[in-house]
Structure formats: C-alpha cells, structure tokens
A and B are shown apart, each in its own frame.
Chain A
Amino acid sequence: MPDLRSPQTSPDPIRRSTEAVAPPKAESVGHEANRRTNLPSSGDADILARAQAGDHSAFAQLYSLHKRRIYSLCLRMVGNVAEAEDLTQEAFLQLHRKIETFRGDSAFSTWLHRLTINVVLMHLRKKGLSLVSMDEATEPAPEGSPGRSFGAPDLILSGSIDRLALERAIGDLPAGYRLIFVLHDIEGYEHNEIASMLDCSIGNSKSQLHKARLKLRDALRPFPLQEERR
C-alpha cells in the first residue's frame, strides 16, 4: 500500500498557480472498486502529495476522483439536490483548507469521507434538526406501523431489489432513519461510530436502523401492506 503521508517539503501558497484548472473528465474505475476498502492507487497518492504541496491541478484531480462519492454521500444523507450541491462544495472547500493537515493516519478517502459527514451533520444541526429524534423513530410504534408489522409470505421481497427503487425509497425515509441507514448499511459505519457521530446511544442507533429497514421493506413491497398476525 502506498505511503500517503504528506511530503516533507513545506508548501508555499504564494507559488500556487491561480490558473483555472479543469478537472479530468473520467473517474477512476479502480477508485470505485476500492470504495469500501479505501485502498488508494499509487497514482492517488501522488496526486494527494501534489495537492498538499499546493498544486491546483492536483486538487482538481482529487475533486474528479472523489466528487461522485462525496456528492452521492451528501445527497443520500440530506435527500435534497440543492443542499447536496452546497454541502459538496463546502466539503471540498474544507478539504482545500485542511489538506495540509492530513498525515496519513487513515486512508485519504476515509479522512475525506469523515470530513464530509461532519460538514453534513454540522449543516443539519444548524438547521435545528435533532439528528436522532426528528421523526417518529423515538415514538412508540403504533399498531400496524413498520416496527410491528408482520409480512405475509406472499409479500416476501423477491430476493433482488431494483437499485433505483431502493434509492427512491431511501430518499423518502424520514431524516433520522435515512441518516443512520446511509451511515450503517451503505457507508459501512459501525453502531458505536454512528452513536459517537450523532451523540446518541448505540441502542438508539440499532433501533433506528431496524426501523429504517422496516420502512424500506414496506416501501419496496410489490403489493400494499396487509397485516397478518398470529
């Protein structure tokens, strides 16, 4: 694995090029494949080192490499295109301001990912949203709600889920459910990490994730919900 530690040379902001730099068009397939493992290619490490040294063209390349992942993360977390664009912009601006502080203690993509989540969470807190109680998640589940629904055998999901239908259903989740579902099931964070990020208990994180999955189950059913209890 390439060493992602920052270069020893001290960056000189005065020498930074101020020319407009167009980001490369193509996004690395290798990077996509490494989404969960966060393994950077040697090319990524070189780009990162140059961006840390103040190379605008390298920063543009970093943007191109990570823009889809960061934008998708923001969009899934907030469920709103305009907000996701603003948050993506803010995440990359923060990256530009802080990139010199990255020392390689974690993979760069992990570091950028966490930076982005912090940007989104700060935004949600500024909006006055309580991150774990903004919906019915903390209320007792009424009879027939997803938390206590029983699926009849003929409503079993077919075993494969249409990706677009799932994306739509995730977008329709209440904000608190969506946040935890995205962080846990899509982004792969553990409950203890989510509890720390959202300042809630691990049990609350587990409970909300479960309710989010139940809501998605209902949304993805091919037929309307029919209660069946025994």
Chain B
Amino acid sequence: MKEDPNLMDCYEFQAQLPELIDAGGKAAQHPHLQSCALCRALLADLETIAEAARQLFPIEEPPDVLWKQIESVIRDEEKAQEPARRTPPQ
C-alpha cells in the first residue's frame, strides 16, 4: 500500500472503505476522492443505500390467521399447566 493517500489507487482506497465509512465522515474527506470521480460515485451510492435503508419502515402485515394460531397455542399451553398448578404437593 502506498503511504501517501494522494497516490492511493482505487483498489487500495476501496480496500479501506469499510473502515472509513464506519468512521463517519472520514471517507468523504479522503484525499483519493479529490481526484477520483469513480470512487466518489461509489461512496455516494453506498451512502444513499445506507440512508434509504434507515428510512425503511415495517411494511409487511402478517396474515390474520397468525394471531389465531398463536392464541390457540397459548390456550393449549395454559391448559397443560393448570392441572399441575391445581394439584397440591404430596
């Protein structure tokens, strides 16, 4: 790896990108980006994707029958527990 970040090529920059992105704004300020439109575009896309993911809300509704199934199992479990609770210890 080249020590001078200005001389870093795209491979080297991208190899460091996971750490740079995780470090907050450090990626956007990297000297390599001043001269590399390709990596600027890459970083912009990755940030856009991460931001879009943060905006995702729960959108899926489980089927109504699921609650009936859950309720049925709960009732069965409680029925199974009741005799044991009602039987006094010997």
Which A residues lie at the B interface, using CB under 8 A? 13-14, 16, 18, 20-23, 32, 35, 56, 59-60, 63, 67-69, 71-73, 75, 84-85, 88-89, 92-93, 96-97, 147-148, 150-153, 155-157, 159-161, 163, 166-167, 170, 181, 185-186, 188, 191, 206-207, 209-210, 213-214, 216-217, 220, 228-230
Q: Does B34 contact A (CB under 8 A)?
A: no
Interface positions of B from 23 to 81, Cβ below 8 Å from A: 36-39, 41-42, 44-46, 48-50, 52-63, 66-67, 69-71, 73-75, 77-79, 81
Cα A147 to Cα B11 in complex, Å, equals: 10
Q: Which of B52, B60, B69, B82 contacts A166 (CB 8 A)?
A: B52
A35 to B59, CA, bound (A): 12
B36 to chain A, nearest CB (A): 8
Number of interface residues of B (CB under 8 A): 48
- Which residue numbers of B lie inside 8 Å of A, CB to CB? 9-11, 14, 17-19, 21-22, 36-39, 41-42, 44-46, 48-50, 52-63, 66-67, 69-71, 73-75, 77-79, 81-82, 85-86
12 residue pairs of the A-B complex, CB under 8 angstroms, read: A18-B75, A35-B58, A68-B59, A68-B62, A71-B61, A89-B66, A97-B77, A160-B52, A210-B17, A228-B38, A230-B9, A230-B38
Given contacts A32-B57, A185-B53, A213-B49, contact A156 B18 (CB under 8 A): no
Which secondary structure dominates where chain B touches chain A?
Answer: helix
CB neighbours (8 Å) of A207 from chain B are 18
Per the bound structure, the CA–CA distance linking A153 and B86 in Å amounts to: 73
Chain B proximity of A85: nearest CB distance (Å): 6
Q: CB distance B41 to A161 under 8 Å?
A: no
* B52 x A20 contact (CB < 8 A): no
CB-defined contacts of B44 to chain A, threshold 8 Å? 156-157
On chain A, the residues within 8 Å of B41 by CB distance are: 151-153, 155-156
A148 touches B11 (CB 8 A): yes
